[in-house]
Amino acid sequence: MHDQPLTGAVALVTGAGSGIGAATARRLAGDGAAVTLVAHRRDRVVQVANDIARQGGEVVALEADITEADRADDMVQDTLDRFGRLDILVNNAEVRLLGSALHATIEEWDQMISLNVAGLVHVTHAALPHLIYAATTSPREVADLVNVGSAAERVVRPGSSVYGLTKSGLNAFTESLRQELLGERVRVSVVEPGAVDDGQENRLGDSARDAARWPTDGIEGLRPDDVADAISYIVTRERRVAVNGMLVRAGDQTW
């Protein structure tokens, strides 16, 4: 395979300011794609974009609240204005707020539903016509939509009720789109990471941090680059190959 198999392709990655999203953006740029990075914090996404630009990559950084449908539309249009097409969408943006149902606030639950579900739907809806068009005009003869889920959808733990709800919904959404878009040459995939050392735990409150930590105590977690490798593998396959799902657990993870 060519050293840069995505040369000429354009990718959009949400949640690209840190963790899996930042690692994925760097990896796809290394594979030759021009990349649009989206995050809700401009300082973080600009830093990642600068790293990619220093390596010679084509990149644009956007600050956007994708829970607003109009902003998701604008974000996709900004990508088209800058690069002229959209071949790959990686829906990675999420928030994970863990804690018991008794002690969680409705605001925390709404925040997860707004970003993990509504944000996913808004960006996908805005991008789909352009992915379909890209599949008909690209030398690759295919486009890719990758949704980043979680192993939490497969093994539910206490304290993750609404987070698990959002990831279960993501899986159902992904599978329906996969079947719908087969004839359009748009591959639809889900990547389900297990325990990842991505820094999210550090942004949780005390009780939620405890809930996030206890299932992973003693486990050497995945690194964001490990998940980025999986995403790169999916989108760099020849057209005849569709990797529709990939579960990536830490080596010591039992659940």
Active-site residues, by number, are: 163
Beta bridge partner(s), residue 90: 13, 146
Q: Edge-to-edge, what's the strand order for the sheet holding 10-14?
A: 59-63, 34-39, 10-14, 88-91, 143-148, 186-193, 245-248
d(CA 181, CA 53) in angstroms, rounded, equals 33
Nearest 5°: the CA angle 141, 48, 77 is 50
Distances (CA, A) of 104 to 30, 96, 156, 160, 188: 41, 12, 17, 10, 33
Spatial CA neighbour of 75 closest among 136, 145, 140, 130: 130
192 touches 245 (CB < 8 A): yes
